Structure formats: structure tokens, C-alpha cells
Amino acid sequence: MREDEEKEEKAKFLQILEKHFERQNKMINTFCAEMTNSNKLVFNQLRKVINKEEDVTDKAEESKPGTSGTSSVSDTGPTISDTDISPERKRWRPSIGSPRKEWFCHICQQSMNIKSRSSHLNSKTHNNLAALLNIYIL
């Protein structure tokens, strides 16, 4: 009789463990799916930014005047006009001479007030995304 009770307790314990692991698996799968989608968005944004920067660099190199035999280097370098910058980046880009009031987190893809920058960098969401990106990239 005591053996039957022990078997029932073990069976109940195993059922509880099984339910717990099922819940854990669901949570992990959901988290992984969300992070996969988030990573896809982040990497697509990074790809767009990189492509834009390559386009801007290519345009700047094409627009350099010919040196006609001289090997002097220009002090100004390539200039980037406002038409070369996407509207998305213009949104948070400060105008010349004005203090920067907004800051853009490239990891979280969020624009925010410059005063909330330090609290955002210490936030759990930002640190988790940064850690996952480091793991994914490495």
C-alpha cells in the first residue's frame, strides 16, 4: 500500500514537471520566434544603413573633380547632401548649430530624448538585445 502511494506521488510529481517543462518550452519558443523576428528587423535595418552609406560613398567618389596629374588631397573630403540621407535618418539628425535633443539607439531601433539615453542603455530590453546580437554575430 505504501508502494502504491509512492508511485502515485512520483506520477503526480512527473506530471507537474512535464507541465512545467511544456510551459518553459512554449515560453522559450515564443521568445526565440520574437527574437528571430526582431533580429531580422535589426539586420534589415543595418543592411539598409550600410547600403545607403555605400551609395553615399560611391556618389561622393564619382563627384570628385579630376586632379589632372596633381596628387594633392582635398581637406574638405566628400560632402553629403540632405538628399543623400534617408528621411528616417533625417528625423533624428540635428540641424547644424543646434544642440542634439534626440538620440537613436541602433540596437533597439528607437529614437528618444537625449535625457533618457542613460536610462535606456541600462534597461533590460536594450541589454538583452545587445547580448543576443553579440551572441548572434559572434
Same domain (yes/no): 59, 108: no
CA atoms of 27 and 18, how far apart (whole Å): 14
Work out the pLDDT band at 72, boundaries 50, 70, 90.
Answer: very low
Assess whether 57 and 90 both reside in one domain.
no
Note the pLDDT tens digit of each residue in 124-136: 888 877 777 775 5
Q: Let me know: does 111 contact 89? Beta carbons within 8 Å.
A: no
Per-residue pLDDT, averaged over 77-97, amounts to 50
Number of domain units in the chain: 2
pLDDT at site 78: 46
**Positive/negative CA dihedral, 102, 107, 110, 115:** negative
Q: Kindly state the DSSP code that residue 64 receives in the 8-state scheme.
A: S
Question: Which tens digits make up the pLDDT trace of 5-49?
Answer: 889 988 998 898 888 888 888 888 888 888 888 888 887 887 787
Residue 40: inside a domain, yes or no? yes
On whether residue 125 sits in a domain, the answer given is: yes
Confidence of residue 65 (pLDDT cuts 50, 70, 90): low
> What is the number of other CB atoms lying within 10 angstroms of the CB of residue 128?
14
**Between residues 58 and 117, which one has the greater pLDDT?**
117
Q: Which residues contact 52 (CB under 8 A, 6 or more apart)?
A: 84, 85, 86, 89
Domain boundaries, position 39: 1-63
CA–CA dist 136, 49 (Å, integer): 19
Q: Is 41 helix (H, G, I), strand (E, B) or coil?
A: helix
In a domain, 27, yes or no: yes
9 lies in the same domain as 58: yes
In this predicted structure, what is the pLDDT of residue 73? 46
Record the pTM.
0.32
Question: What is the rounded CA–CA span in Å between residue 60 and residue 58?
Answer: 5
Cell 586632379, located at residue: 67
As given in the structure block, the three cell numbers for residue 97 are 548649430
Q: Answer yes or no: do 91 and 59 share one domain.
A: no
Q: How far is residue 17 from each of residues 8, 23, 24, 25, 29, measured CA to CA in Å?
A: 14, 10, 10, 12, 18
